[in-house]
Amino acid sequence: MQEALAMTYLWLKAGHIIFMVFWMAGLFMLPRQMIYLHPAAAGSPESDLWAKRMGLLRKVILTPSLLVVWVLGLALAMTIGAWDQGWFHAKLLFVILLTGFHGIMVARSKKMIAGERPMSEKQLRIWGEFPGIALAIIVVLVIVKPF
C-alpha cells in the first residue's frame, strides 16, 4: 500500500512539474506576443496573425496548463500534508499571484486584439519579467523550504 501511495505521489509530482513548465512557457510568451502585436494596426493582416497566435496560446497552452497545475498541485499538497507548512503558504501566495497575472494578461491581450492598447511596449516588457521572478521564488520555497 505504501509503495502504491509513493508511486501516486511521484506521478502527481511529475505531472505538476511538466504542466508548470508548459504554463510558465505560455506566461513568458504571451507578453512577448503582445509586444509584437503592439505596433500593428487593428484589423491588419499582421494584427490578425498575432491575434490568432495569441488565441491559440491561450486555448492550447495557457488555460489547460493552468487548470492541470492547480489540480495536481492541490492533490500533491493533500498527499504530503503541506497545509501546515509555512513554505507551502508562501508558494501558494505566489501561485495565486501568477494566476492573477495570467488573468490580467489574457484580459489585456483580448483588448489589444480588439484594437486597444492598454499598456505601452515598455510596460509589457516590465510585466513580462514577473513570471520569471515568481518562478525563482517558488523554486527556492519548494526546494529549500526556508520556513
Instruction: Tell me the C-alpha distance between 11 and 141, whole Å.
Output: 21
Instruction: Tell me the C-alpha distance between 50 and 113, whole Å.
Output: 8
Residue 89 labeled ligand binder? no
Measured from the Cβ of residue 1, the count of other Cβ atoms closer than 10 Å reads: 5
Instruction: Tell me the C-alpha distance between 81 and 74, whole Å.
Output: 10
Instruction: Tell me the C-alpha distance between 25 and 39, whole Å.
Output: 23
Residue 102 labeled ligand binder? no
Q: Dihedral, CA atoms, 35, 65, 3, 89, nearest 10 degrees?
A: 70
The answer to whether 62 and 102 have CB atoms below 8 angstroms apart is yes
Cell digits of residue 124: 509589457
- What residues are designated binding site for heme? 16, 91
- What residues are designated binding site? 16, 91
